[in-house]
Amino acid sequence: MSSSYGVREWAGAAALAVGAAAVGFLAYRSLCCKDKCCKAMVNPAIQKDNPKVVHAFDMEDLGDKAVYCRCWRSKKFPYCDGAHTKHNEETGDNVGPLIIKKKES
């Protein structure tokens, strides 16, 4: 049994190979690329004049519960204002706040 491929079959196979290569490249770039140019910034606007944004709180000052932003979109940063909901809808992300509370006795 002999199999001979026509132009149509070769063109289809070539298109499939190019498509697979493109998908592979995009997956590599989004998952494995370590270059700074390939990554998006997490912090769009908060304290951009500082080399590193750091906040520290004393446990005694927290009260019963504190809710902190992890999406960097809160207008009350470092506190959460619920901005992660819009961020998640727009990006498909699943980030939520950091909640610290006293253990109930």
Residues acting as catalytic residues: 52
DSSP annotation string for 26-64: HHHHHHT--SGGGS--S-SSTTTTSSS------GGGSTT
Spatial distance between the Cα atoms of 65 and 62, rounded to a whole number of angstroms:
6
